[in-house]
Amino acid sequence: MTRILAIANQKGGVGKTTTALNLGLMLASKCRVLLIDLDPQASLTACLGLDPYRQERSSYSLLMYDKMTLARVLRPLRPGLALIPGSVDLQTASIKLLQENHSLGRLRMVLRDSRVPFDYVLIDTPPGLNVLTVTGLLAADEVIIPAQCNHTAILGVRAVQDVTFRIRENMGNPDLKVRGVLPTFYDDDALYSPQILAELQALLPGQVFKVRIPYDVNVADAPHTGKAVVDYAPQSPGAVAYRQLADEIVVD
């Protein structure tokens, strides 16, 4: 059965795209993985070597054109891994989706088709709990909330929790659940990191991943080499943590 996970947080810069990328690559070593880029900034697409300004068919096409099929928008990248790229067109998608009365459930419909040949679908969403994020959450079974371990973490997590609740109760995805809060940018030397972690665990008992993604300069450097950290520095703390995250998700 295909598991569909959206990665969401209203805050930018918390590690959503980094998580989609590295988790996707780790899972793809054992399973069939589809990554979907719903962010107009399309940094997941860029990290995977595609130019967001030159995507003739993208997640935008899938959301906007009823006849567009999954097969036509997806790009095989390596064995076990495919991408539906984002494109700069997504900047106008939020408005058009509402103005032209498109169904926000289109991605959900396409992915719930029983013939989707993937074990995992990971949806990278933009910052802000906007129409594109809602589209991703409507399509998903589970949501991963990366939370940067600083004083704003709780607010970001609460906002996603709230939207998840609304989507479950009122918007037609009654099975959506928070799979886990993922502590990111964890710094053992900082006083506040363990404090924030304890606050997150108190807010969502049993729903915070065991793994913490550490602050690791290799993670930040990797995109500059055209790679994800799990390929660029496989033994680095960041890569090891993303491997552990994949293990936590697979055992479910």
Edge-to-edge strand ranges of the sheet holding 33-37: 75-78, 81-84, 33-37, 120-124, 3-7, 142-148, 177-184
Q: Which residue's CB is nearer to ligand ADP, number 13 or number 234?
A: 13
In angstroms, what is the minimal distance from the CB of 213 to ligand ADP? 5
In sequence order, which residues have a C-beta less than 8 Å from that of residue 9 and are 6 or more positions away? 16, 127, 145, 146, 147, 156, 157, 159, 160
Q: Which residue's CB is nearer to ligand ADP, number 52 or number 238?
A: 238
User: What does 215 interact with, of ligand ADP, Mg ion, none (CB < 5 to 8 A by kind)?
Assistant: ligand ADP
The pair of structure tokens assigned to 43 is 């940094």
Residue 17 interacts with Mg ion (CB under 5 A)? yes
Among 3, 16, 108, 179, binds Mg ion (CB under 5 A): 16
Residues linked to residue 84 through DSSP beta bridges, in sequence order: 36
Give contact residues for ligand ADP (rule: CB under 6 A): 12-18, 43, 127, 184-185, 213, 215-216, 219-220, 223, 238
In angstroms, what is the minimal distance from the CB of 7 to ligand ADP? 8
Q: Which residue is nearest to Mg ion (CB)?
A: 17
Q: Which residue's CB is nearer to Mg ion, number 198 or number 220?
A: 220
Q: Which residue's CB is nearer to ligand ADP, number 198 or number 220?
A: 220
Q: Which residue's CB is nearer to ligand ADP, number 16 or number 106?
A: 16
Burial class for 119, CB neighbours closer than 10 Å (0-12, 13-18, 19+): middle
In sequence order, which residues have a C-beta less than 8 Å from that of residue 204 and are 6 or more positions away? 157, 161, 178, 181
In angstroms, what is the minimal distance from the CB of 197 to ligand ADP? 14
> Which phi and psi angles does 37 have, rounded to 5°?
-100, 110
Task: Tell me how far apart the alpha carbons of residues 106 and 226 are, in angstroms, rounded to a whole number.
Answer: 32
**Binding site residues, Mg ion, CB under 5 A:** 16-17
